[in-house]
Amino acid sequence: MEIIKYKEEHRIFRETVKKFLEKEVIPYVDQWEEAGIVPKTVWRKMGEQGFLCMQVPEEYGGLGADFLYSVILAEELVRTNHTGLAAPLHSDVVVPYITSFTSEELKRKYLPKCVSGEMITAIAMTEPNTGSDLAAIRTTAVEDGDTVIINGQKTFISNGINCDLLVLAAKDPSVKNPYEAIDLYLVEAGTPGFEKGKKIRKVGWHSQDTAELFFEDCRIPKANRLGQKGGGFMMMMEKLQQERLMCAIAAVAGAEHMLEMTIKYCKERTAFGRPISKFQNTQFTLVEMATEVKLGRTFLDKLIVDHMEGRNIVVEVSMAKYWTTEMAMRVADRCVQLHGGYGYCEEYPIARAWRDTRVLSIFAGTNEIMKIIAAKFMGL
């Protein structure tokens, strides 16, 4: 029985996305991986097709679509076997902060550009030596009349090079309670005092422009603060449910894709005069992986439905984020093993999928943090 009730328009949308990606993305993936970045022109093409920020209300240029459109796009992007075009981060992690917490003036100023792809967004929480401990951030925001002066450093910021607009977490040094000291601000690229560092070289995610960001006496309007003063931490807690759900979506879709690639390979690759899919060890391994993938899909689809119904599923999403990403890593490793020496060669797509999967247990809050969250709500 299907847990998610996809409608015909959802199925049509999936086919439209597939055709777009086959024409505008997949042929260029290797080129982008080599360059270490995805050109901004592709983002504009995504915007022209209506593939960005689909949940943004129509009055701000969006489609006012349901969350399933975001799910479909995220799944199909995973199947391109690269991570550089981080549209789900832009559309379903960063832009919801603008939609939910900014003034009407800022919504009308920025949302249409986010929808069109004219502006690419990023979110800057993580800092050197803080990791997942958001209360320990050191970047400061000091009010000075109608402006705010930002000083500090951020790291591991996805879309860091391409970003035109940043949701920045900073603290008021005069407030002692670290959870009440945090605010979120919108900072445009090109603002004096805001500098982008070099793209960080990573083991995987080669076409994803991950960067360090620096702020030195960066002055922005006080009106660029999101929500009420001191509310930044609670805003992040509210939106992290969807961010971590998006991570689980990528993990399950990635595991499904890797398994599909490996089954195809095992049917085609021969050893000792027959396809390796006919060997019992291969069959057992594939069945075990398929079982885990189906368990992950069932858990995930239930959470997608719950999330769309507005339920508080912070604990369940934390569990799903850690379990599905670790499952995806197990699948990736076993798929490489079944490919043998070819699995360790760049010309085989499983190699890229393997290295790109590893980071899923680290970002959006490490899996250890996910377990701490679940333990807390369990009263442990």
Known catalytic residues are: 243
Distance CA 65, CA 308 (A): 12
Coil/strand/helix, residue 195: strand
Task: Supply 12's token pair.
Answer: 């049509």
Task: Supply 147's token pair.
Answer: 């402006």
What residue ranges in the chain does DSSP mark as E strands?
Answer: 121-124, 140-144, 147-157, 165-171, 182-188, 194-199, 211-221, 270-271, 274-275
Query: Which among 203, 337, 335 is positioned nearest to 257, based on CA atoms?
Result: 335
Rounded to the nearest 10°, the torsion over CA 28, 31, 33, 39 is: -70
Distance CA 145, CA 219 (A): 11
Residues 6+ apart with CB under 8 A from 85: 25, 38, 42, 43, 46, 77, 207
Chain centre to alpha carbon of residue 32:
18
| 214-217: Cβ within 8 A, 24+ apart | 214/153, 215/139, 215/150, 215/151, 215/152, 215/153, 215/154, 215/168, 215/187, 216/151, 217/149, 217/150, 217/151, 217/193
Cβ(205)–Cβ(359) below 8 Å:
yes
Distances (CA, A) of 200 to 94, 133, 145, 204, 317: 21, 21, 36, 11, 29
